[in-house]
Amino acid sequence: MPKFKIPRALPLIATISVCVVGILLGNWQTRRAQEKEEIARQIEVQSKVPVQLANSVVLANVKAYQRLRLRGTFIQQWPLYLDNRPMNGKAGMYALMPFQISGSGETVLVERGWFQRDLKERTKIPPLSAPQGEIEIEGVVRSHIDRSMQLGANEILVPNAIVQNLSVSAVAEVLKVKMPEWVLEQTSDQGAGLQRDWPAPSNGADKHRAYAFQWYGLAAMAALFFVVTGIRRGKK
């Protein structure tokens, strides 16, 4: 029976392929770690002093992770709820509501806080009253609303809708109002029994660096294995 001979170039090609993939994935994980560290730096810089918004010009120049203090009124008729937002191992939802800023003609979408979902009836919403009249709220700017996995089409936006994902532009279009693309995570307490222990977006830089080390290690091991086996073949 004739013996199958492996082409001499095949081990070299396989080694190069593994090294390239390992280095590329290692670089990608390194960039992800740098992004997370940059987010942490931005949060530290932007969250120093609350800013009082006075006009639309200031509103347009707001940066992500900046702390803001807004004065205006909640649009009570338009509460919205983001489903499948667990916190501390418990299933729950985020409560959102548009907020009209006094004297600016602008409306901001506010994530008011988190509440635990009813275990027996998923769509049952507890009474979450919003303050009436003109009030002052404080929060942190986020460039977008975090998304969760979704199967199927987007839900129709109506008052009291429970949705998997939501965009600020979709809310602005339905309400026929002008809204900035960012959302405000409320930190000030106006009651309503909502939790405001918002997850930090900068966590995980060390995890990405550990993954990068593993991918670089795989590339190094592949190269070392090729060299060692080549030396052994040379000796034979």
The tens digit of pLDDT for each residue in 68-125 reads 888 899 999 999 999 988 888 889 999 999 999 988 788 999 999 999 988 888 888 8
Whole-number Å distance between alpha carbons of 21 and 87: 36
Predicted TM-score (pTM) of this structure: 0.69
Backbone angles phi, psi at 134, to 5 degrees: -75, 125
Q: In terms of Cα–Cα distance, which of 147, 146, 148, 166 is closest to 158?
A: 166
- Give the three-class secondary structure for 218: helix
Query: Quick check: 196 and 189 in contact, CB under 8 A?
Result: yes
Mean pLDDT of the chain: 82
Give strand pairing partners of 20. none
